[in-house]
Structure 1
Amino acid sequence: MNVTVALPVAASRKDDFPGLAGNWAYLDTAATAQKPQVVIDAIAKAYGPDYATVHRGVYERSATMTLRFEEARESVARFIGAASASEIVFVRGATEGINLVAQSWGQRLVAGDRILLSALEHHSNIVPWQLLRDRTGIEIDVAPLTVDGRIDVDALEALLTPRTKLVSIAHVSNVLGSVADVARISRAAHAAGALVLVDGCQAAARIVIDVQALGADFYVFSGHKLYGPTGIGVLWGRADLLDSMPPWQGGGAMIETVSFEKTTYAPPPQRFEAGTPHITGVMGLAAAIDYVQAIGIEAISAHEATLVKAARAALSRINSVTLFGPDDSAGILSFAIEGVHPHDIGTILDESGVAIRAGHHCAQPLMNVLGVPATARASFGVYNDLDDVARLAAGVERVTRIFGTGSK
């Protein structure tokens, strides 16, 4: 393969990530991204000399930490193009964000109402709606995919009915890397009277997000896939929607007044943030956003596109390898080797210091569409380079030799 191709992001970025020490080719960023030292330092500082509670103390350090906490909320709002920081709700991750919408906004749905998903959704964007269906009697429709693994928007539009109340789709597939035409889907959904929720877990670190330009009504993502810490994520919702939604958990911080007779609730976003928040997680998330913005999301997108193109070219030359998803996937490449279980692929690659994901990727319905029980998945980040792609290809070639297949 041509290793002289210039990458948009310097290979020296690998040095920013202490978790990559030891010549490790980490190709599992879609599961969770490695953390740059600046994020680790921000978390250590938040837990150390800066540590204090937020929204409660009257002493100086607590007031300072509260200010930084709310500045982080503003940073998130700018990062995704939100109209106001008050539209940003901190949650544990995208999974919790979707569940929040299902349990709070979903209370208004009744038997016969419909929710429209797609065939490539992560379980976190399927199971919460099934739980709601089981409680309320709503119905779930599923839009199919195009041949190259994108959401078939024509088919999705044909499934919209006056009873469709929400379209909930992944911005970027965690298996195929295909990017949804969210703006078009939003226009069609709104024309039918439905809202749109977007699972942005795989998009947040890979492509520019502008929730207003996308026309979304809710958008969720997780910090740990954005080079930030685990246990912190974001739900963005339009201000009028959040204001109309009841709390989904009760406790401190989300109230105005409490008596044994009656409780009144704080306005959004505090209404949805019961209890002591993940203070240090928010600090780490803010540092991660600063890190990716200093590089530039456009540069990261181009960098990962170059790596995916190189990986697809290299693996397509190997006998018995099937590639899934579109040629222009966003940083993610799933593949299979005829006669070899993905777990065996992952184990053999690990022997060479190459880390990939093997399994159904929390997308079992999509595996059924692809006609396989599981896939091997290589996913790239800002720290990967063409040497990692070469090691992936060499490892896959070794797998084919072990299992008796060869190159084309």
Structure 2
Amino acid sequence: MVAINITSISKKIVFSFICMTLSAGSVFAFSNFQEDPAEYINEYIEYGGVVLDSETGNALVFATLTVKGTNISTITNSDGQFLLKVPKDLNDGVLVISYIGFNTKEVLLTTLKAEGNEIELVNSIIKLGEIKLVAPNDAKALVKSTLKKKADNNVNKPVLMTAFYRETIKKGRKNASLAEAIVNVYKQPYTSSRQDDIELFKARKSTDYNKLDTVALKLQGGPYNPLYIDLMKYPEYIFNSEMIDLYRFSFANSTTINGQAVYVVQFKQLNTVTEPLYYGKLYIDVETSALKSAIYNLNVENKELTGDLFVRKKPRDIKVYPTNAAYRVDYREKDGKYYYGYGNVQLSFKVKRKRKWFSSNYSLTSEMAVTDWKFNIDNEKLKNREKLKKSVVISDSASGFSDPEFWGAYNVIEPEKSIESAINKIKKQLKKANKG
């Protein structure tokens, strides 16, 4: 068994667990997974490509692509690549491409090819004079101020959240394991040291490890992975009092999110630091200093060190190391308070077996979006037996929570579509379940 650990570097800065199992033949063949049923293929047209920064040519991770006027949407992966399936009757539609800090772009679907599309986005720069914006002198001081202001800016009461979770595991471009779940998140106040708890409400899976030959990759931790990238709740994973001094902070061009001005703070580990840390951007509200979004990556240049972070145990003749680890967290605002709204973890791994010439590439995506929340007035708590374990493998556990009646007509898991699109498909079932 190969287990990959994303939750602790020596100072606890990686967030999830990946579990790799060595199987023989079809030992790990679970429920039958048809990647593209014939009738499904005939109804859709597929588009693939990459979204790039027009100035630098760099791939844009977590860019959003949406067919205008519909719920059909997807996001780019850790290499900036996208795959979008559109019903044939919408083929004359308009594709809207957006990314924080860049001008939104619209493209006619009829101008796109089946694959190899390159879509470039242009940086959106705010001129300081236009909004009377004066950037602080010290980017690091602004980040520290943001972290200290969570009592003022973030929800500071216990909250009960309903969230939709989805994870996808691929070998190359082939889907090997898909899982979806509705979970209840018992969110603690942002100033509390208590960790959040999760209860599994409904789940299902579609898995076929036969597609993986002799090696199967599993993700441990499930919904905890995207939950723990809530930087305002768990700053100790990246920016604790010691680690914050291991980064260099600087300002990038300011931009807007939903019409509101934000500072963009870039961070990267100091050249003198050898331990793998993170690099990325923080989007901080100009008026309140609240964190509105964060997009960042783990430095995976040192294969041995980062491999040790993720792998818990594995067969001796297999080497496993990450080639990319990308994270995104978005906050939503209600009544002047910000709360966790969406988290996404994208991981890529290379698996090399001794005495074999070729290595295998795996990718894992773990994302969660909050669909509803209310204050936990009575501060209800889960019993230990009700709590989802942090070592859970959803693709294994889902079999005990499968409910065909709940999932209803939504019987095809479509990993290329955005999680918001999936949520819209099951809202009615969720409302019925809550009433029951």
Q: Fold conserved (TM > 0.5)?
A: no
Normalised by the length of structure 1, the TM-score is 0.26
Higher helix share: 1
Higher strand share: 2
Normalised by the length of structure 2, the TM-score is 0.24
